[in-house]
C-alpha cells in the first residue's frame, strides 16, 4: 500500500480548457490547442524532474471526434508536429512513449509518426509518457469483454480464471499500474470517459486553471497536495488501527 508522503508513481491528466483560454483572448480555439502543446512540454519536463514513473495525458477522446472537422484536423496536425519535433528530446531524456486508444481511427500520417516514436523510444528506461488518443474508457472495457468472450468461446480461457487482474490485462493499460493521482484542469468536475476501471482508488485533484495556464509549479502543488492525503483503499490508516 502506498503510504502518504510518497511521490505518485503514475499521474494521469485530463488536459482541459484550451478552447476557453483562446476564447478569452478573442482567438480561434486552435490557438488554445497550440498553447496547450507548450504546457505538455513543460509538464513532461517537470514529470522527469520529479522522478514520476508514468505520465498519462488525455489528448483526444473518442467523443472529441464529434467536434468540427477543422478543429479535429488542427489537433491531429499539432499532435503529429509534436511527435516529430520532440523525438530527439524524448530520446535524450530517455522517455518511453506509448499510446492508448483507437489508433486505427487516427489519420495515417499521425499513426506513422506514433509508430516511429514508439519504436525509437521503446528501450528507454526513463519516464513512460502514455498519450491517450482517440481514447474512450467504456469502449476499452467493452472491447476487453469481447476479447475475453472470444477466448472463452475458443476454449483458451476458463471462466473461473477471470479475475480483476486478468481483466486488467485486456485493457489498453495492461502493462501499467493504476494512476495514483488524476489531475483535471479548467474547473470541470467530471471524468469524461477517462480510465474508468483504472481510477477506482486514484486520488482526484481538480484545478480551475486552464490547461495553457498550467505551470510546473501547479504540478508541484498537485503533487504536494497528494502527499498530504491518506490513502486507505477501504482499510484503516496506520493511526486508526
Which residues are part of the catalytic machinery?
A: 16, 64
Which residues inside 100-139 make contact with Mg ion, applying CB under 5 A?
Answer: none
Q: Which is nearer to ligand IPE, 21 or 170 (CB)?
A: 21
- CB of 141 within 8 A of CB of 186? no
- CB of 96 within 8 A of CB of 125? yes
Write out the three cell numbers for 220.
Answer: 508541484
Total of residues contacting ligand IPE (CB under 6 A): 18
Q: Which of 8, 10, 11, 16 binds ligand IPE (CB under 6 A)?
A: 16
- CB of 89 within 8 A of CB of 126? no
Q: Which is nearer to ligand IPE, 100 or 170 (CB)?
A: 100
DSSP state at residue 174: T
Helix segments in the chain, DSSP class H: 18-24, 29-49, 69-92, 108-121, 137-153, 164-168, 216-227
Which residues inside 15-54 make contact with Mg ion, applying CB under 5 A?
Answer: 16
> Which x/- pattern over 48-67 shows residues binding ligand IPE (rule: CB under 6 A)?
----------xxxx-xx---
Which residues inside 147-206 make contact with ligand IPE, applying CB under 6 A?
Answer: 186, 188, 190, 192
172 binds, among ligand IPE, Mg ion, none (CB under 5 to 8 A by kind): none
Q: Which residue is nearest to ligand IPE (CB)?
A: 19
- CB of 229 within 8 A of CB of 206? no
- CB of 174 within 8 A of CB of 168? yes
Write out the three cell numbers for 198.
Answer: 483504472
Q: Which of 43, 52, 62, 75 binds ligand IPE (CB under 6 A)?
A: 75
Q: Which of 17, 47, 101, 179 binds ligand IPE (CB under 6 A)?
A: 17
Residues at the site binding Mg ion, with contacts judged by CB under 5 A: 16
Amino acid at each position: 500500500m502506498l503510504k502518504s508522503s510518497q511521490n505518485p508513481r503514475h499521474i494521469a491528466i485530463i488536459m482541459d480548457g484550451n478552447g476557453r483560454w483562446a476564447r478569452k483572448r478573442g482567438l480561434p480555439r486552435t490557438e488554445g490547442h497550440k498553447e496547450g502543446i507548450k504546457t505538455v512540454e513543460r509538464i513532461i519536463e517537470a514529470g522527469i524532474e520529479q522522478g514520476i514513473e508514468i505520465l498519462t495525458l488525455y489528448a483526444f477522446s473518442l467523443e472529441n471526434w464529434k467536434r468540427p472537422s477543422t478543429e479535429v484536423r488542427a489537433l491531429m496536425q499539432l499532435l503529429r508536429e509534436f511527435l516529430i519535433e520532440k523525438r530527439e528530446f524524448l530520446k535524450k531524456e530517455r522517455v518511453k512513449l506509448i499510446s492508448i486508444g483507437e489508433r486505427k481511427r487516427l489519420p495515417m500520417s499521425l499513426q506513422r509518426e506514433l509508430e516511429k516514436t514508439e519504436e525509437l523510444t521503446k528501450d528507454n528506461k526513463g519516464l513512460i509518457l502514455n498519450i491517450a488518443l482517440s481514447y474512450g474508457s467504456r469502449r476499452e472495457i467493452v472491447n476487453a469483454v469481447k476479447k475475453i468472450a472470444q477466448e472463452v468461446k475458443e476454449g483458451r480461457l476458463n471462466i473461473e480464471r477471470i479475475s480483476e487482474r486478468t481483466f486488467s490485462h485486456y485493457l489498453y493499460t495492461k502493462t501499467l499500474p493504476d494512476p495514483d493521482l488524476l489531475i483535471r484542469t479548467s474547473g470541470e468536475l467530471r471524468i469524461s470517459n477517462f480510465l474508468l476501471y483504472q481510477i477506482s482508488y486514484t486520488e482526484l485533484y481538480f484545478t480551475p486553471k486552464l490547461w495553457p495556464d498550467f505551470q510546473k509549479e501547479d504540478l508541484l502543488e498537485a503533487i504536494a497536495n497528494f502527499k498530504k492525503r491518506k490513502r486507505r483503499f477501504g482499510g484503516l490508516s496506520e493511526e486508526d488501527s
